[in-house]
């Protein structure tokens, strides 16, 4: 099963102004039984989004998905992999982001360019469909998949639903993406905050019931009261602003101090994140070998070669058809 608690040893460090990008900072607010992570992405998300020439709204959505994947994937053990995938009827009909432990992040989006150009960026991008989180970890690469319905609620709310349904852990997530002007031009930045209520006693993790759905009208839903510590934790976490999550001059430590200093926050070892793709010439050659000679013949371009572009990192590679004969 998944274990989304920080894997790192508890090391209390003084709150510093160390403002390094592309890392995940796990933390705890012990008086509130809170565990969480802050992720700040700079060069990594700029590279992932820069590898594609997506319109800004699509890039922004993929950036959000990258932050969420980094928040969730960084809890995996060293040999694990987490994949976030959406399939929907929205303008962005597919998003895929992979986190390969300990630090690799990659992703791409598929979208309807014509419709997007027609309706503009205010249109609902994700639409209706589903979001799947697939986690593989351990020696036998045990596989776990959690799926939540997408109904126009966006990635943050979908993440809350995932934790409610699949993990039964009260969880609050915030995601932010921004394009900022630097000396080198426009750069993408992204950040996220995730907090989870993990008291010693499971009974305190009670969550109010979801609306009864298909139940007949008038069905009574028992009123469930959330734990006071979790109510306070959510209220504090919810004060985080988008600009704080993407501000390059505000370190993760200072941000946590701003949010939780009244209760005392303890931080753990940071984990790095980098843009990295698993593709290689050899892997693609193996993929091409799995086609029949006739299928491969159809792939040969005007220059007599088979050209393949990696959908994740846009690396283009060419193969001579004779390599496979």
C-alpha pair distances (Å), 243 with each of 22, 131, 236, 246, 318: 17, 26, 16, 5, 43
x-or-dash string of contact with Zn ion, 240-259, rule CB under 5 A: --------------------
- How far is residue 126's CA from residue 225's CA, in Å, rounded to a whole number? 32
Q: How many residues bind Zn ion (CB under 5 A)?
A: 5
Q: E strand or H helix at 144, and its extent?
A: strand 142-151
**Nearest to Zn ion of 237, 277 (CB atom):** 277
x-or-dash string of contact with Zn ion, 114-153, rule CB under 5 A: ----------------------------------------
Which residue is it, tokens 């009208």?
217
- How far is residue 232's CA from residue 213's CA, in Å, rounded to a whole number? 28
| Number of neighbours of residue 8 by Cβ within 10 angstroms | 15
- Is 310 an interacting residue with respect to Zn ion (CB under 5 A)? yes
C-alpha pair distances (Å), 162 with each of 38, 96, 165, 197, 238: 19, 17, 5, 15, 19
Q: What is the DSSP string of 217-233?
A: TTPPPPP-PPPHHHHHH
CB of residue 266 vs Zn ion: minimum separation in angstroms?
38
The two three-digit tokens of residue 190, written as one number: 């992204």
**Nearest to Zn ion of 83, 252 (CB atom):** 83
CB of residue 22 vs Zn ion: minimum separation in angstroms?
19
* Stretch binding Zn ion (CB under 5 A), from 56-64, 114-122, 185-193, 313-321: 313-321
- Is 157 an interacting residue with respect to Zn ion (CB under 5 A)? no
User: Looking at the chain, how many residues does it have?
Assistant: 325
Residues 260-279 that bind Zn ion (CB under 5 A): 277, 279
The two three-digit tokens of residue 72, written as one number: 């969730």
User: Checking DSSP bridges between strand 316-319 and strand 142-151, what pairing results, if any?
Assistant: unpaired
x-or-dash string of contact with Zn ion, 71-110, rule CB under 5 A: ----------------------------------------
Work out the end-to-end distance of the chain between its first and last CA atoms, rounded to an integer number of angstroms.
44
Q: CA torsion sign, 158 to 179 to 196 to 71?
A: positive
**Nearest to Zn ion of 69, 161 (CB atom):** 69
* Stretch binding Zn ion (CB under 5 A), from 34-42, 124-132, 249-257, 309-317: 309-317
- Is 28 an interacting residue with respect to Zn ion (CB under 5 A)? no
CB of residue 277 vs Zn ion: minimum separation in angstroms?
3
**Nearest to Zn ion of 204, 317 (CB atom):** 317
CB of residue 59 vs Zn ion: minimum separation in angstroms?
18
Choose among 202, 95, 86: nearest CA to 149.
86
CB of residue 317 vs Zn ion: minimum separation in angstroms?
9
**Nearest to Zn ion of 100, 253 (CB atom):** 100
**Nearest to Zn ion of 312, 319 (CB atom):** 312
The two three-digit tokens of residue 139, written as one number: 């020696």
- Is 313 an interacting residue with respect to Zn ion (CB under 5 A)? yes
- How far is residue 92's CA from residue 124's CA, in Å, rounded to a whole number? 9
CB of residue 280 vs Zn ion: minimum separation in angstroms?
8
Residues 274-303 that bind Zn ion (CB under 5 A): 277, 279
Return residues touching Zn ion (CB under 5 A).
277, 279, 310, 312-313
């Amino acid at each position: 099963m998944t274990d989304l608690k920080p894997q790192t040893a508890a090391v209390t460090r003084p709150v510093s102004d160390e403002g390094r990008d592309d890392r995940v900072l796990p933390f705890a607010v012990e008086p509130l039984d809170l565990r969480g992570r802050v992720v700040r992405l700079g060069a990594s998300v700029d590279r992932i989004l820069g590898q594609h020439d997506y319109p800004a709204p699509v890039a922004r959505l993929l950036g959000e998905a990258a932050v969420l994947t980094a928040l969730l994937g960084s809890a995996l053990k060293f040999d694990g992999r987490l994949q976030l995938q959406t399939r929907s009827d929205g303008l962005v009909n597919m998003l895929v982001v992979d986190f390969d432990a300990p630090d690799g992040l990659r992703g791409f989006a598929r979208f309807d360019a014509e419709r997007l150009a027609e309706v503009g960026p205010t249109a609902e991008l994700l639409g209706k469909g589903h979001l799947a989180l697939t986690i593989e970890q351990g020696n036998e690469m045990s596989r776990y998949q959690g799926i939540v319905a997408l109904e126009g609620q966006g990635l943050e709310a979908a993440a809350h639903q995932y934790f409610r349904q699949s993990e039964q852990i009260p969880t609050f997530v915030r995601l932010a993406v921004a394009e900022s002007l630097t000396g080198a031009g426009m750069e993408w930045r992204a950040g996220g905050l995730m907090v989870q209520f993990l008291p010693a006693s499971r009974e305190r993790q009670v969550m109010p019931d979801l609306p009864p759905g298909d139940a007949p009208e008038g069905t009574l839903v028992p009123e469930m009261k959330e734990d006071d510590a979790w109510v306070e934790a959510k209220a504090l976490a919810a004060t985080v602003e988008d600009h704080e999550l993407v501000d390059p001059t505000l370190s993760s430590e200072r941000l946590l101090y701003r949010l939780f200093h009244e209760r005392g926050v303890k931080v753990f070892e940071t984990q790095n994140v980098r843009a990295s793709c698993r593709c290689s010439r050899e892997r693609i050659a193996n993929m091409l070998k799995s086609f029949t000679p006739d299928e491969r013949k159809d792939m040969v371009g005007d220059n007599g070669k088979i050209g393949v572009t990696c959908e994740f990192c846009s690396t283009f590679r060419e193969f001579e058809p004779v390599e496979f004969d």
